[in-house]
Amino acid sequence: MKQDNSTKSWNNLGEEWIELAQTGESRMAFIMPYMLNLMGDVSGKTILDLGCGEGGYSRELCKQNAIVTSVDCSEIAIEYSVAEARRQGLTIQHFIRNSNDLYEIEDNSFDVVLSSMMLMDCEDFEGTVKEIVRVLKPGGKVYVSVLHPCFNGNHQQGIGRQGAGIEREVVVKNYFAPTEWEAPLYKGSIPVLWHHRTLEDYVKTFVKCGLAIVDLHEPRTTDEQAKISVPMAWLQKIPLYLYWVLKK
Ligand SMILES: C[S@@+](CC[C@H](N)C(=O)[O-])C[C@H]1O[C@@H](n2cnc3c(N)ncnc32)[C@H](O)[C@@H]1O
């Protein structure tokens, strides 16, 4: 696998992501169900789960009769995803790859590419989008979620939050900087590399690489989800996540 700072950083995180992913309230109760619902009927579709992490989305899609290939740079995450698929009797093909170099994965081979919460993590964003376009069939769709770049960033210098509870505020000190920094994940302990990409960075790169924007979502929690906790209720006021549907 081609190494860069993002692959080294996420490999260094080891098992911490697996634990945080599976216990993360917003991922489990909001981000993941929202994406799976947005993807609709996936039965019979060939899907690449790019930056699959511990493989939670891949397993759900496989259970819905999609034909799933899962890729991540983290050896530990892929080991876990392979073992869990086997344990659950699911057939999922796995590759350890940098998202900017999906070698041995053929051109025009997927109906759908899913990129959940990883396009702000990879170092080579344009190289990754080029690879997504290469492996996607003509007319194929890409489902993307990222941390919303208007409301997330480097807390000290860029975009941060102040206050507490439902009155918490987002403070924008510098939308354009910093573009890269190290910090642990929410509730984590091991520093990982973060990238800030502006809305313009995302959209211009999608378009440059040959993707058309079909739809955009700024999900807010439902009243039912808001009852789970104050941070979930706060998501009815400020969209911390941004989703796109794109087409080749
Ligand atoms: C925030 S996690 C999201 C995981 C999963 N998609 C989910 O939503 O649960 C980001 C994932 O992207 C992977 N990743 C980061 N940079 C990458 C790169 N350059 N190539 C491949 N995977 C990468 C990490 O190892 C990690 O599993």
Per-residue pLDDT tens for 41-98?
A: 999 999 999 999 999 999 999 999 999 999 999 999 999 999 999 999 999 999 999 9
- Cα dihedral 16, 17, 22, 27, rounded to 10, equals 140
What is the architecture, at CATH level 2, of domain 5-149+182-233+240-247?
3-Layer(aba) Sandwich (3.40)
3-class DSSP state of 219 = coil
Q: Verify whether ligand 1 is closer than 6 Å to residue 10 (CB atom).
A: yes
Cα-to-centroid distance, 47 and ligand 1 (Å) = 16
pLDDT tier at 14, thresholds 50, 70, 90: confident
Cα-to-centroid distance, 197 and ligand 1 (Å) = 16
Q: Verify whether ligand 1 is closer than 6 Å to residue 18 (CB atom).
A: no
**C-alpha to C-alpha distance for 17 and 8, rounded to whole angstroms:** 14
pLDDT tier at 212, thresholds 50, 70, 90: very high
pLDDT for residue 80: 98
Cα-to-centroid distance, 229 and ligand 1 (Å) = 26
Contact 95, 102 (CB under 8 A): yes
Cα-to-centroid distance, 21 and ligand 1 (Å) = 11
Q: Which of 121, 128, 185, 241 to mutate to test the pocket of ligand 1 (most atoms within 8 A of CB)?
A: 121
Sheet holding 241-247, edge to edge: 93-96, 67-72, 46-50, 110-116, 136-147, 241-247, 212-217
| Phi, psi for residue 179 in degrees, rounded to 5 | -95, -15
pLDDT for residue 203: 98
* pLDDT surpassing 90 at residue 1: yes
Measured from the Cα of 114, ligand 1's closest atom is 6
* pTM score: 0.98
Cα-to-centroid distance, 167 and ligand 1 (Å) = 31
pLDDT for residue 4: 97
Measured from the Cα of 31, ligand 1's closest atom is 8
Q: Verify whether ligand 1 is closer than 6 Å to residue 81 (CB atom).
A: no
175: CB partners within 8 A, 6+ apart? 149, 150, 153, 158, 159, 198
**pLDDT tens sequence across 149-165:** 999 999 999 999 999 99
Domain residue ranges of the chain, discontinuous segments joined by +: 5-149+182-233+240-247
**Closest of 114, 76, 107, 79 to residue 94, by C-alpha:** 79
**C-alpha to C-alpha distance for 13 and 73, rounded to whole angstroms:** 11
Q: Verify whether ligand 1 is closer than 6 Å to residue 6 (CB atom).
A: yes
**C-alpha to C-alpha distance for 170 and 207, rounded to whole angstroms:** 29
* pLDDT surpassing 90 at residue 19: yes
Cα-to-centroid distance, 224 and ligand 1 (Å) = 29
**C-alpha to C-alpha distance for 45 and 112, rounded to whole angstroms:** 7
**Closest of 56, 214, 51, 21 to residue 125, by C-alpha:** 51
**pLDDT tens sequence across 108-138:** 999 999 999 999 999 999 999 999 999 999 9
3-class DSSP state of 128 = helix
